[in-house]
Amino acid sequence: MVFDLTGKRAVVTGAGSGIGRAIAAVFARQGASVAILDLDQAAARRSADEIRAAGGRADAFACDVGDAGQVADAMRRAAGGGRLDILVNNAGISHVGTVESTTEEDLDRLYRVNVKSVFLCTRAAIPMMLAQGAGVILNMASIASLIGIPERFAYGMSKGAVHTMTMSVAVDYVKRNIRCNCICPARVHTPFVDQYLARSYAGREREVFQELSAYQPIGRMGTPEEVAHLALYLCSDEASFVTGQAYPIDGGVLVS
């Protein structure tokens, strides 16, 4: 089977919904045993239950990925016997605002969830990967880490950090058989988008949804499954020559 993950143990953060949920499901279909980490324990359990109902293997762990103690404990438990083949740092939050409208609290919150979590989870994973002689780390960045996007000051800052951490880990561990890449999506239609529209544009959801979709020259948002299939490739042995790269999946944004 191409992109076979049979026998591999994968940890996916923020897999209670959206892109993380799709990644966990795709990995499980390809044979991986998946550990789902999410702040929302009920959502994590629902994702794990869906995977098991489809014949896959999955466990759910409640974890605040911005808390060092919780990360260390959850990663230890998720790795079971100490084996961890794949880590997907997917958990993240968004923010809309310029430098003027971004508060100190906004910046700290974005840093804690989008940046510090990648550091904490990666720091917990690397020793296990070194002990077993191999591993793959995949981070969820954004096209906001590659170009400027209006009113995404704090978000772009956080995803730029994810991008540069990716390159740093890749170069530090390239001789130790640990690969590290990141994915840079444009807008992806997740429950977060629908919640944001309902909260911020009540009564105009359809109109604004079309505007957000039209930002991508291809004329629509991406789907979580499309991102998940790119993640599958990057975490599979078929991508064993790929490290330190930022992969856009953007519906043509960067070439427009």
Instruction: Look up residue 136 and give its amino acid.
Output: V
End-to-end CA distance of the chain: 36
Torsion of CA 100, 140, 22, 125, to 10 degrees: -130
Q: H or E stretch including 180? A: strand 178-185
Q: Cβ(114)–Cβ(38) under 8 Å?
A: no
Q: How many CB atoms lie within 10 A of CB 24?
A: 34
Strand 135-140 relative to strand 33-38, pairing: unpaired
User: Is 155 a catalytic site residue?
Assistant: yes
Q: Which helix (H) or strand (E) holds 56?
A: none
3-state secondary structure of 91: coil
- Classify each residue of 183-214 as buried b or exposed e, where b means 16 or more C-beta atoms within 10 Å of its C-beta: bbbbbbbbeebeebbeeeeeeebeeebeebbe
Q: Which of 155, 173, 233, 247 is catalytic?
A: 155
Residues designated catalytic: 155
